[in-house]
Amino acid sequence: MLHRTLVLLLAVGLCLGASACQKASQPGQLAWQPAPFKDAIPTEYGRLVAITTTDQAPGAALLWFESSDRIRIVYVAYSRGQIGDNVVSIPRR
């Protein structure tokens, strides 16, 4: 009896959860922009909030900046002393 009740509650929960899902109305709005400088990061990018690295690109890192309207990701090859050619810009809403 307890087993049937739990299965019924699980089924009702799944149905309610599935009915609450909806498809996003717009696709993402990521924008690739050319980096304005080869040797500096503009202050308008905001506050540095994270640095990520990967074993796939040793000697390089992604710098994540947060401003009031955007999050920007800058690629830096610190082993070569270079800033990437493009910046990913993610709008905030």
The parent domain of residue 40 ranges over: 29-93
Residue 20 is assigned to a structural domain of this protein = no
Residue 63 lies in a domain: yes
Please say whether the dihedral angle defined by the alpha carbons of residues 59, 43, 65 and 75, taken in this order, is positive or negative. negative
Strand, helix or coil at 56? coil
How many structural domains comprise the chain? Answer: 1
What are the residues whose beta carbons fall under 8 Å from the beta carbon of 62, sequence distance 6 or more?
51, 52, 53, 73, 74, 75, 76
Please report whether residue 11 resides in a domain.
Answer: no
Statement: the pTM of the whole predicted model exceeds 0.75? no
Residue 90 lies in a domain: yes
Tens digits of residue pLDDT in 11-63: 777 776 666 666 656 666 688 899 999 889 999 999 999 999 988 889 999 99
Question: Quick one: pLDDT at residue 11?
Answer: 76
Question: What's the whole-number mean pLDDT along residues 65-72?
Answer: 94
